[in-house]
Each structure stands twice: as C-alpha cells, then as structure tokens.
Amino acid sequence: MATMQIATWNVNSLKVRLPQVLDWLAAHPEVTALALQETKLEDKNFPKAEIEAAGYVVEFMGQKTYNGVAMIARAPIQDVQFQIPGFDDHQVRLVAATVQGVRVVGGYFPNGQSLESEKYPYKLSWLDALLAWLPGELSRYPRLALVGDFNIAPEDRDVHDPVKWAGDVLVSPPERERFFKLVELGLVDSFRLFPQEDKAFSWWDYRAAGFRRNAGLRIDHVLLSAPLAAACTACVIDREPRRNERPSDHAPVFVTLAL
C-alpha cells in the first residue's frame, strides 16, 4: 500500500506565485499531483523548465490575463486532455490527466460575476457540460478526483456570513444544485469525510483584511469517486501559504489517499 496526495491550488498568476508553488511542493513531498488554476500565462511564457528543474513534470494550457490551468506531477502524466469535450469554450478552464493510475480532473470553474451578468448563464452551462461529460469519464476511470476552484460554496457552513451572501453568485441555488448533482454522480466532497473546525474556508478576499478576519468561503474542493473516497485518510485546506508575502487569495487543498 502506497500513499499519494493530490492537491489543487488557484494561484492567481503563476508568474507571481511560482516561487511559492515550488516552496510548497518542496514542503509537501508526498504530493504526487498538483492541479493549478488561474495561471494567467500563455504557453510560451509558462515556467516549464523551472518546474522540471525542481523534479516535476508538468502539462499546461493557458491564455493571457485570465484563466489557464496546469497539472504538475512527480510521476509521469498520461492521457492529457484539456477542456470539456464538445463544449466550445474560449476560456481555458480544465485539464484532465492520469497520474499513478488516478484520473485527476482539474477545473477552474467560471465565477459568474453576478446573477445578472451574462457570465452567470455561462457558468451554469459550463457546469451542465461538466455534468454531462463526467459519467463517461467515471466509467472509464473508476479512480477519479475532480479538483479545483469550483467557485461554489456548497452549504451555508462554507460561507463566513451566509446572510450577507444569501442568493448571491457562488452560493445561489442553481449553482449549489449543480454541485450536488456532481455528488449524485458518485463524487464525494472529501473535506466532509472528516471532522473539521467550524468556519473552514479556502478563499479570503484581499480587501478588508478578509484573511485576518477569516471572512472567507470554501470554494476549492477535492471530490472523489467511491474507490478513492474509500482510500482517503485526510483532506486538508492549508492556510499557511495565505500568510506569505503576496499570497494567492486561495489556499491549496489536498487529500491523502492510501492506495
């Protein structure tokens, strides 16, 4: 039986955060696969050599200014696929790859901006496309982890001030319904497999001292198929990098699997 850890981190610019990513990986040698979101880099500017020099392999697809995803791994990355098949998306938001027999799907789910924005129906259609695609992926890869920045706080306990946020984007019922449709596909919210402290969040607003006040949301998730959930021994939101200078507004989240 071997232990592997799978992680996700919205780095909000890999250009700025690369040293922090490398430091974090060095401090977490059991992390076999790390899915990144919001790399915000065109492929020609991606720091592939630096990541490989640290002893990792990496697959990536990005674009200027916004979005962009990557998969960093200690072990070979196989069968890489970008974007949701059949969903014509001009925003780079998904990478799927197999690492040590585990299918890791890393997503940067759309934010939606507001319920009135045209970005909100885009978010819902993106979620619907993901929901339509995943059943086949799950049958092909029974060991599957869906990770990333979901931009959905599934329950009120995932929100620092549920009254203030009520009905807003990231917590609206149509988004939450789709999150729980993912659960109905057989994907388990690994964080809730274990006792957790109250007010556990993965994102804190840069503004108004959000982190200091723990005014956050739990929107970064690791969802596991049944065989992986059965092997999961821990799910941790690592707040430590949020204390760095120039931190990402998101914390990394990782699971430990005893496979």
Partner DNA sequence: ATGGCTTCTCGTAGAAGA
Choose the catalytic residue: 108, 158, 220, 249: 108
Binding mask 186-225 for DNA (x = CB under 7 A): -----------------x-xxxx--------x-x------
Residue 172 makes contact with DNA by CB under 7 A: no
Choose the catalytic residue: 56, 120, 141, 149: 149
Residue 169 makes contact with DNA by CB under 7 A: yes
> Bridge partners of 257?
4, 232
Please report how close the Cβ of residue 169 comes to DNA at its closest, in angstroms. Answer: 7
Nearer to DNA, 193 or 239 (CB): 239
With CB under 7 A as the contact rule, the residue among 40, 103, 178, 242 that binds DNA is: 40
Please report how close the Cβ of residue 64 comes to DNA at its closest, in angstroms. Answer: 5
Please report how close the Cβ of residue 231 comes to DNA at its closest, in angstroms. Answer: 29
Residue 119 makes contact with DNA by CB under 7 A: yes
What residues are annotated to the active site?
A: 108, 149
The site for DNA (CB under 7 A) is made up of: 10, 12-13, 15-16, 38, 40, 64-66, 110-111, 113-114, 119, 149, 151, 169-170, 203, 205-208, 217, 219, 246, 249-250
